[in-house]
Amino acid sequence: MTTEKINIRFSVLVLMILTAAFSRLIPHPANFAPIGALGLFGAAYFTRKWIAIILPLAGLWLSDVVINNTLYAQYYKSFTLFYDGFYWIYGTIALTTILGFYMLKKVSVKNVLTSSLLVSILFFLITNFGCWPGSTTYPQNFGGLMTCYAAGIPFFGGTIAGNVFYSIVLFGGFELAKRKFPVLQLSNV
């Protein structure tokens, strides 16, 4: 029974992460995506830290492969596994997950919302910084960096809204499911 319990919980968590990652295929406002929520959700519900980091990254990568080779195929010369600068986003998600280990030791509405807002700021700061080095659009000085950040401000609201929305859906959905299906209670995955 214990193995069955672990496998069901693990399967549900993986399915939720993949579903959220692939929801990026649905038309949505700019930056309204589950990216930060994926890392936080993994951190909160997987006790094995390597799984908590790898699964959100894998979900993001799989959805990126589909998006880049279907919706954005005209922007690439051939089949694309990784786009330029992907490491800024993937690194931010790994960092989000690591922060989630500390911020979500107890899952509560306050902790989830606070974490969602904090990782939205983190995502904004890191990924906009990542657009600046070597850019031909922004001068390679402090003013150019500030211009790069200013250009990202219109997208910041979508990042916050996406992280909060998907955190509510993922965390709320799983907490409700745990109440209805006791087999989803804490395990060691």
Q: pLDDT (tens digit, 9 = 90+) per residue, 18-45?
A: 999 999 999 999 999 999 999 999 999 9
Whole-structure pTM value: 0.91
Q: Which two tokens stand for residue 64?
A: 């990126």
Q: Above 80 in pLDDT, residue 51?
A: yes
Looking at residue 183, what is its pLDDT? 86
* Interval 61-84: pLDDT, tens: 999 999 999 999 999 999 999 998
Q: Above 80 in pLDDT, residue 180?
A: yes
Q: Above 60 in pLDDT, residue 59?
A: yes
d(CA 68, CA 92): 19
**Is residue 189 in a domain?**
no
The range of the structural domain enclosing residue 154 comes to: 2-184
To 10 degrees, the CA torsion angle through 83, 88, 94, 100? -130
**Is residue 76 in a domain?**
yes
How far, in whole angstroms, is CA 28 from its chain's centroid? 16
φ, ψ of residue 37 in degrees (nearest 5): -60, -35
Looking at residue 4, what is its pLDDT? 52
d(CA 168, CA 73): 32
**Is residue 132 in a domain?**
yes
- Asked whether 101 and 39 are in contact (CB, 8 A), the reply is no
Looking at residue 1, what is its pLDDT? 45
To 10 degrees, the CA torsion angle through 42, 43, 44, 49? 100
Nearest-10 crossing angle of helices 109-131, 86-103: 160
Q: Above 90 in pLDDT, residue 182?
A: no
CA distances from 158 to 35, 108, 117, 126, 135 (A): 11, 23, 12, 16, 24
**Is residue 54 in a domain?**
yes
Q: HSE-up of 167 (CA within 13 Å, CB side)?
A: 29
Q: Above 70 in pLDDT, residue 3?
A: no
Nearest-10 crossing angle of helices 86-103, 35-45: 40
> What DSSP element (H or E) covers 49?
helix 49-69
**Looking at the 3D structure of the chain, how many domains does it have?**
1
**Is residue 20 in a domain?**
yes
Q: Above 60 in pLDDT, residue 88?
A: yes
d(CA 172, CA 157): 22
